[in-house]
Amino acid sequence: MEKTFMPPFKTAEALLDHQLNGLQWTVAHAYSGSAFYRKQFEKAGVMPGDVKTLDDIARLPFTTGNDLKEGYPFPLLSVPEKDVVRIHASSGTTGKRKVLTYTQKDLDTWFDMFARCYEMAGVTPEDRVQIAVGYGVWTAGMGFQMGCERLGAMAVPVGPGNIDMQCRFLEDLGSTVFCCTASMALLMAEEVHKRGLKDKIKLKRIILGSERSSASMRAKIKDLLGLTDMFDITGMTELYGPGTGLDCPRHEGIHYWADKYILEILDPDTLEPVADGEVGEMVVTTLEKEASPLIRYRTRDLTRKIAKPCSCGSILPMHDRIMGRSDDMIVLRGVNIYPGQIDEVLSSISEAGSEYQVHLERKEDGKDYMVIKAEAKQGLDPSAAARSGIR
Ligand code: ZN
């Protein structure tokens, strides 16, 4: 049988059992290994022995990005420093970066998760994977590289930019998979088109990290490069790095690795779970992370869970695309509104461009009003714009 990086569980119940074991281990490990977590647990009045079911996660204290900055340089450290084999840091431009520590086991877990992403995207050891993301203290390059080698495919580590070398290697080495950001993918697609290389390259798949991309942009990239498929990979430095989820070839949502972390979707205001399928903040708890475990870490990213299972048959659950940051949430007449929802509405109006402003006002009647001013699409006939209410 082929080597697989998919979880060994056959049923949802087995997955939940595994989650409970992981949660109990993580809480006991963080309590005994980290003064920060011990203090947090004591403040919340909860002891490791109190976690008896998965629902008991609601009793655990939250961890925030601020906690990571305050604990600089080694926040959340829960193992002796001698067991740390690597650090990575977030690419923050202001103030202190978030530095995350890894044991060898943490790295192995991360690369297995990343290899699972490649496997789910249909990448095999026969493939040649050209990696056009940044290498260094941030997690992107290392994740794509080590995940590729773990799977057994051939890594071509070019790094970002360097369009001439990218094109040369696509042609000479016959790379079949390309990993980059959405804007880099568009740039490459246009470059390959301009240089007339489409029939000389063997590119089949693109794996996109970090940036959001529109449907029209994706269609253009796919067409110009003659791809069979494109995938979105998720992840953040705090949670190992990229590689913690991917949309499968059915593209019905993003499968996330529920055997490695628990995902809660909470109302950012009340910190209570949202109703099934509603948008809320992603809050993650790791199940086997040793050096910097996360307990109810508030990611500030917004999405919703997708309730129905994927038609691909995987037992790994799914969430929707990231719809913005919880810091950008507006409460209008008691309803939580997120920028991603406005994007979604505007993208369904063919005359609307992608830039818009939101004007909020409380009028004399005491009610809140929201006006959205959207840019008209480039080249739009002004009379058509007027008809659709866009100025
Ligand atoms: Zn699927």
Which tens digits make up the pLDDT trace of 165-198? Answer: 999 999 999 999 999 999 899 999 999 999 999 9
Question: What is the sign of the dihedral through the CA atoms of 120, 121, 127 and 131?
Answer: negative
Q: Contact 154/184 with Cβ under 8 angstroms? A: no
CA 153 to CA 165: how far, in whole Å?
20
CA dihedral over 356, 344, 227, 165, signed as positive or negative: positive
Ligand 1 center to 255 CA (angstroms): 7
Q: What is the pTM of this model?
A: 0.89
Quick: pLDDT tens for 33-57: 999 999 999 999 999 999 999 999 9
Which is more confidently placed, 189 or 335?
A: 189
* 251 CA to centre of ligand 1 in angstroms: 7
Enumerate the H helices of the chain as residue ranges: 12-33, 35-44, 65-70, 104-120, 140-151, 163-172, 182-194, 215-225, 339-347, 382-387
- Under DSSP, is residue 160 helix (H, G, I), strand (E, B) or coil? coil
In one-letter notation, the amino acid at residue 361 is E
Q: What is the DSSP string of 262-275?
A: EEEEE-TTT-SBPP
pLDDT of residue 259: 98
Please work out, in degrees rounded to the nearest 5, the angle formed at the alpha carbon of residue 284 by the alpha carbons of 10 and 135.
Answer: 95
Instruction: Quote the ligand 1 centre to 267 CA distance (angstroms).
Output: 27
Q: Token pair of 301, please?
A: 């990213």
280 CA distance to ligand 1 middle (Å): 22
Surrounding ion ligand 1 within 5 Å at CB are: 248, 250, 310, 312, 314
pLDDT per position as a tens digit, 275-332: 989 999 999 999 999 999 999 999 999 999 999 999 999 999 999 988 888 877 788 8
More confident of the two residues 339 and 317: 317
pLDDT over 70 (residue 222): yes
Is residue 390 pLDDT above 70, yes or no?
A: no
Q: What is the pLDDT of residue 1?
A: 53
| Ligand 1: centre distance to CA 119 (Å) | 12
CA of 177 from ligand 1 middle (Å) equals: 20
For residue 11, give the DSSP letter.
S
Between the CA of 41 and the centroid of ligand 1 the distance, in Å, is 37
Average pLDDT over residues 367-388: 76
% of the chain surpassing 70 pLDDT: 95
E-only strand ranges, 217-324: 229-236, 241-247, 254-256, 261-266, 280-286, 297-303, 305-306, 318-319
More confident residue, 148 or 213: 148
What pLDDT, on a 0 to 100 scale, did the predictor assign at position 329?
A: 77
Integer angstrom CA distances of residue 381 from 181, 376, 378, 387:
33, 9, 9, 10
- The CA 214 to ligand 1 mean position distance, Å, reads 21
Cα–ligand 1 centroid distance for 312 (angstroms): 4
Is the pLDDT at 152 greater than 50? The verdict is yes
Using the mean position of ligand 1's atoms as its centre, give its distance from the Cα of residue 198 in Å: 29
pLDDT tens-digit readout, 225-251:
999 999 999 999 999 999 999 999 999
CA distance 191 to 164: 9
Q: Quote the tokens at residue 15.
A: 């997955």
**CA of residue 319 to ligand 1 center, whole Å:** 11
The residue extents of the domains of the chain are 12-326, 330-388
The answer on pLDDT for 363 being more than 90 is: no
CA of 5 to the centre of ligand 1 (A): 15
Question: Is CATH 3.20.20.70 the right assignment for the domain spanning 330-388?
Answer: no
Say which CATH class 12-326 falls into: alpha beta
pLDDT at 378: 73
- CA–CA–CA angle 178, 183, 185 (5° rounding): 25
Please list, in sequence order, all residues whose beta carbon lies within 8 angstroms of the beta carbon of residue 39, skipping any fewer than 6 positions away. Answer: none
Rounded to the nearest whole angstrom, what is the distance from the C-alpha of residue 203 to the centroid of ligand 1?
Answer: 23
Average pLDDT over the chain, rounded to an integer: 92
